[in-house]
Structure 1
Amino acid sequence: MHEQVRDYQVTQEPYYRAVGDEVDLYEAAYAVRMPMMLKGPTGCGKTRFVEYMAWKLGKPLITVACNEDMTASDLVGRYLLDANGTRWQDGPLTLAARHGAICYLDEVVEARQDTVVVIHPLTDNRRVLPLEKKGELVEAHEDFQLVISYNPGYQSLMKDLKQSTKQRFGALDFAYPEADVEKEIVSHETGVSADVAGKLVGVAERARNLKGHGLDEGISTRMLVHAGSLIARDVAPLAACRMALVRPLTDDPDMRDALDAAVTTFF
């Protein structure tokens, strides 16, 4: 492994609870270096899944949190000034392509369309990355794979991937796990009892039923882990749920009352 990507190696096994055949499907996709798209709501385990697969495959993982201010140069690289003049510095995408890492673009639709276009030559049979400012054509390392994620339920018409981008990827759908599985995850990640984890999942299910009826998003598995972690540190369950589940989700007083009532029902 090249020393420039050694720091990105996932050295400890991340906890990931498979809910279907997603691990086998991803392994098959990696075997043919198919670019992958992970679709699902925020906080449902997409990033943890990529970390787990990078660990399982023994490949370095370079993660980029996409945002609307991100330029193509942020991804591919730029010239920097130093004491000796100018020098080129690879961006995360170039680093991954050049040295054979998995590059994970998280919430890719947050990036501008003109930024997303730079990934196109890497996601077809060319597997190249043109560095126009440098006049170089980087041929992707045989171990390189591109993975993107996004939340389809949260995108407006203004913020969606173009078909010309989507059709370059294989896709896996992610959702919040079934109640029993989610209970197991929350208990494992936080150390709370199965009973407490079950109550937290019950609160989440109530909140998810309100999505589209006053809530933009439901309570995510990640938020349940936050609440469980507080409870494990002897924070009162009602206070922990208000802080980690209710208050981050909405500012609407009526919706907060409804969620607080759900919490009180279980705790």
Structure 2
Amino acid sequence: MSTTAPYYHSTGKEEEVFEHACRNKIPILLKGPTGTGKSRFVEYMAYKLNKKLLTISCHEETSSTDLVGRFILKGAETTWLDGPLTTAVKEGFIIYLDEIAEARPDVIVAIHSLTDHRRELFVDKLGKTFKAHEDFMLVASFNPGYQRGFKELKPSTRQRFVALTFNYPEADHETEILVNETKLEGSVAKKLVAIGGKIRNLTELGLTETVSTRLLVDAGKLIHSGLPKRLSVRVAVNEPLTDDPEVLAALNDLSDLLI
């Protein structure tokens, strides 16, 4: 576990909710766009509560076997290797399933018995059921706006969690985050935040995703290391958002005016 607290700027009652959910053994679902601090928040709370954190970045190939465990060949013998979920259940860790909706459906099936009063994990390959450790905590994140209609969580799954919504910080808070994360001067960080705010309001461009705080932090780091400001914004903010030449030109024109 890190000896230094991860930087996190609280914007509401999310810390209090997390602590109470943990105390009452209720899993938590963090909802919101990419790059709004969901993962950092979990890291911060794990540090604050002095708990070990295991993070799984879910994708379309993530299966229950990846989480629960598998048999492996070790020399001439076949042995069982616990997956991160099983380890967390046994040892009382926080497990964070980042972008859970991206995982295969069998992952949701695997965690169902951990998200209700049973708090137990059935490992079918072993024919065993493990009761969750007293300190075990399940946290998942979900981006409701991403591929809407294709990557949704079923109501029966969502209602097993308490939920917190994350969004882009207010301008003053986002500026403070950038200064802390990138060591930029406040005036430059403020300009980056203004660029992010303007692009987020350009709904007519039809962007699938918009500017996350993470992208602004990346741009800030490049600027702080000496890369020209306009180039930093183009490669760290605008280019990752679109491949459309006309939309990209519009974003570049806008950001060049503001930086």
- Structure 2-normalised TM-score? 0.98
Further displaced range: 76-85 or 47-56: 76-85
CA contact (8 A) 1:208 1:217 kept: no
What is the RMSD computed on CA atoms of the aligned residues?
1.0
Cα displacement (A) at 1:145:
0.6
Large movers: runs of 4+ above 6 Å: none
Number of the residue aligned with 2:24:
32
Distance in 1 between residues matched to 2:21 and 2:63, nearest whole Å: 28
- Unaligned runs of at least 5 residues, structure 1: 1-8
Once residues 204 and 144 of structure 1 are traced to their aligned partners in structure 2, the CA distance between those partners, rounded to angstroms, is 38
- The equivalent position to 1:63 in structure 2, one of 51, 55, 60, is 55
Q: How far apart in 1 are the matches of 2:238 and 2:4?
A: 33
Corresponding position of 2:199: 207
Distance in 2 separating the partners of 1:157 and 1:266: 36
1:45 aligns with 2:63: no
Question: Could you tell me which residue of structure 2 aligns to residue 90 of structure 1?
Answer: 82
DSSP 3-state at the match of 1:147: strand
Q: Which residue type is aligned with residue 8 of structure 2?
A: Y
For the 8 Å contact 2:36–2:212, the answer to whether it is kept is yes
**Residue 125 (structure 2) aligns with:** 133
Corresponding position of 1:5: none
The structure-2 alpha-carbon separation of the partners of 1:211 and 1:144, relative to structure 1 and needing over 3 Å to count, comes to farther
1:159 corresponds to: 151
Deviation at 1:12, TM superposition (A): 2.1
Shift of 1:33: 1.3
| Alignment partner, residue 147 of structure 1 | 139
Alignment pair present for 1:117 and 2:109: yes
Q: What is the alpha-carbon distance in structure 2 between the residues aligned to residue 181 and residue 74 of structure 1?
A: 38
**Which ranges in structure 2 are unaligned for 5 or more consecutive residues?**
none
Q: How many positions carry a matched residue from both structures? A: 259
Tell me if the contact between 1:60 and 1:102 (Cα under 8 Å) persists in the aligned partners. Answer: yes
What amino acid maps onto 1:12 in structure 2?
T
Q: 2: CA distance between counterparts of 1:44 and 1:64?
A: 18
Q: Percent identity?
A: 50
Amino acid at match of 1:152: P
Q: Aligned residue for 1:198?
A: 190
Does residue 175 of structure 2 align to residue 172 of structure 1?
A: no
Q: How does 1:211-230 map onto structure 2 within 5 Å? A: 211=203, 213-230=205-222
Please, which of 50, 56, 64 is the counterpart of residue 72 of structure 1? 64
Amino acid at match of 1:74: D
| C-alpha deviation, 1:129, in angstroms | 0.2
Residue type matched to 1:131 in 2?
V
Equivalences for residues 9-28 of structure 1 within 5 A: 9-28=1-20
Q: Secondary structure at the match of 2:140?
A: strand
Q: What TM-score, normalized to structure 1?
A: 0.95
